Amino acid sequence: MKSRALKVNKGFAITTGAAVALMALTVSPDAAERNTLILASAQQNDCDRLAGSPYDQQRNGAFAPVNIADIGSEAVESCRTAFDATGNPRFAYQLGRAFNRADEPDKAMNAYNVAAKDGYAAAMVNYGMLMGRLGDDKAEISYYQKAADNGNVLAAYNLGVAYRDGLGTTANVKTALDWFEKAAAAGDDTAAFNIGSIYDEGKLVPADDQTAIAWYDLAAQRGNVDAMINLAIMYETGEGITANMQKAADLYRQAAEKGDMFGASKYIQLQELGIVPAPSQEDVEGVSSLVLKQGDVETPAKADSEI
């Protein structure tokens, strides 16, 4: 909003005292308006900075996304003020996240509902999730569908899980794969991992190691630890691919560097077998910084696809 310009009446002269009084009456509303705008703008930035979601493709990209566990209590007031000043559904959605973090589910649901009614895709996902928890499975799937149709990646992923497992809808592996593929095409590593797992396990579709390997490889390149582990196991055992212990070791190492204890234990085993060099004294980063002894880590079965 443009501030009003001062109008100077040149038609007559006034005394200094009267001029001061007149200027006070004229400037104060503009100053107050500017201060209000400045405050509102600051609160909008604070709301985006404090409560922008990594699952919101419409968030303010000027700020890094914030996981819900990291949202501070000050986000409630910032987002409330930002929404009151603008009516922007993004701020209503982020207010819902702030209320959610503050353990006020009713207020969170109301805020999500406001944003969802205004067509905000990320809010539809959260509102649909809460509707599902209240037992309205049809509403949950409906909101996911609307959000996914509007390009929300998390909604597409959630539909993949719903159709894979028959949650709130009839299980349909083809539809599940379609939604997982849409999410994976948009960059979601977990969706890519789940596709690989479906073909790897061979329970919902005929087992296809080559397809599983391709999707695991994509997910691993995007940093998915479970995909790294499953692909490493396939390289180690020669399942569907020529055995390659060096590639297996490298994948175990990558998983270990992301904090995966199974990957760390496997990498150390391969070091002990001489397949990869033992760490040097100077190497204090990554896997070598994980102090593990034999028996410290129980070797689990192949990673599950459940998220």
Domain membership of residue 42 (yes or no) is no
Phi then psi for residue 196, to 5 deg, are: -60, -40
Domain membership of residue 226 (yes or no) is yes
Residue range(s) defining the domain that contains residue 215: 188-307
Measured between alpha carbons, how far is 197 from 61 in angstroms, rounded to an integer? 32
Same domain, 248 and 299: yes
Same domain, 156 and 193: no
Same domain, 303 and 194: yes
Q: Which amino acid is at 60?
A: N
Residue 24 predicted with pLDDT over 80: no
Q: How many domains are there within the chain?
A: 2
Domain membership of residue 139 (yes or no) is yes
Domain membership of residue 174 (yes or no) is no
Domain membership of residue 295 (yes or no) is yes
Predicted confidence (pLDDT) per residue in 153-203, tens digit: 999 999 999 999 999 999 999 999 999 999 999 999 999 999 999 999 999
Mean local confidence (pLDDT), 67-95: 96
CATH of the domain at 206: 1.25.40.10
DSSP summary character for residue 102: T
pTM, two decimal places: 0.77
Angle at 203 between CA 198 and CA 208, to 5 degrees: 55
Domain membership of residue 248 (yes or no) is yes
- Name the band, by pLDDT with cuts 50, 70 and 90, for residue 37: low
